[in-house]
Amino acid sequence: MVKIELRKDYILDRWVIVAAHRSKRPNDFRQEKKIKSATKGNCFFCPGNENLTPKEIGRIEKKGKWIIRWFPNKFPAVSKEGNPEIRHDNKYFTYSNAYGMHEVIVETPDHKKQLADLSEEHIKQLLEVYADRIRKLSKLPETKYVLIFKNEGEEAGTSLIHSHTQVVTYNKIPKNVQDKIEASKKYSNCPYCEIMEIEKNSHRRAFENNNFLGFAPYASRFNYELWILPKKHIKNITDMDETMLLDLASIMKKVLVKLKEINHSYNFFLHYSPEGEDLHFHIEICPRKAIWAGFELSSGETINSVSPEDAAKFYRGEE
Ligand SMILES: [Zn+2]
Ligand SMILES: [Zn+2]
Ligand SMILES: [Zn+2]
């Protein structure tokens, strides 16, 4: 039995998943290196190798061939073992099993293409899959949140080159989301609606279309960090129609194409509002050039060597 535990710091609201089976023994390490350099022939996300992945959950096809497919992760960070209930009965040791599902969405059959290389229409279809996974997985009684994120490039922690997104269901609302929900409650109206009104006309504005605004946030933690928010107060990607999703795909592509230009690894993730809460939906794109070191670990704060104003200029193509 795979035992994965979710543990809370003695006194802080800081959580960690202890997933010992994911740590690599020397042999596994070699294997991972091999996977990293996997070419078309031996990549198990490539067409022809579908039988090497866990049982498929779903796919989108075009002319009889899949263009996006998703299935359970072979090395899950969470599992459906044990008890999802968080035990608070001990003064310093708060825990549960890290209970949930971990899925992988392969974004394209093409081994060589990154997300930035796909068409807006294709990216829109991927966003539809994101919405579908949030909708379906939220229905499971133990799901409190569905994390959707992407690691692209070595510095962003990807272990497989073939372009993919990860989906993790969680038995608690993640701290980063909870913090934003709580902080939003301190304002009489949605702060993000108001912030957008300001950033729309600021030096930090990067992209805008009918439905979305992309800007470099005022206190960006990462070089070229960018947030994308719907202009209307929308709480979840599941509430967006096709036109909106296409507008979102259009800005996503523009951002990723720019990051590819400077060859930056990146993570991005969706932050939506869980049932019964009120958080303005957004996507955060976090390029990972700088490595967090002593200062960041000691202070919990970051040093960013690219000002958000310069980052926005770069995205607007003005430098
Ligand atoms: Zn591949
Ligand atoms: Zn809002
Ligand atoms: Zn966020």
In order of start, what are the domains of the chain with their CATH numbers? 5-316 (3.30.428.10)
Q: How far is the CA of 283 from the centre of ligand 2 (A)?
A: 14
Q: How far is the CA of 161 from the centre of ligand 2 (A)?
A: 36
Q: For the chain, what is the mean pLDDT?
A: 90
Q: Find the mean pLDDT for residues 86-99.
A: 87
pLDDT at residue 41, rounded to an integer = 65
Helix, strand, coil share of the chain (percent; to 5): 30, 25, 45
Dihedral, CA of residue 87, residue 88, residue 93 and residue 97, to nearest 10: 20
Tell me the ligand closest to 160's alpha carbon: 1
Q: How far is the CA of 236 from the centre of ligand 2 (A)?
A: 11
Q: Find the mean pLDDT for residues 269-285.
A: 97
Tokens, residue 46 = 């490539």
**60-70 pLDDT, tens digit each:** 999 999 999 99
pLDDT at residue 262, rounded to an integer = 93
Tell me the ligand closest to 40's alpha carbon: 1
Q: How far is the CA of 157 from the centre of ligand 2 (A)?
A: 31
Tokens, residue 67 = 């263009």
Query: At what angle are helices 242-261 and 120-138 packed, to 10 degrees?
Result: 120
Q: How far is the CA of 279 from the centre of ligand 1 (A)?
A: 36
Residue 25 has pLDDT above 60, yes or no: no
**160-212 pLDDT, tens digit each:** 889 999 999 999 999 999 999 999 999 999 999 999 999 999 999 999 999 99
**CA–CA–CA angle 313, 265, 131 (5° rounding):** 90
**46-55 pLDDT, tens digit each:** 999 999 999 9
Strand runs (DSSP E) across the chain, as ranges?
5-8, 15-18, 58-62, 65-72, 95-97, 102-106, 145-152, 164-170, 205-208, 212-215, 226-230, 266-271, 282-287
Residue 123 has pLDDT above 60, yes or no: yes
d(CA 177, CA 181): 6
Tell me the ligand closest to 164's alpha carbon: 1
Tokens, residue 288 = 């990972």
Tell me the ligand closest to 38's alpha carbon: 1
Q: How far is the CA of 167 from the centre of ligand 1 (A)?
A: 19
Amino acid at 38: A
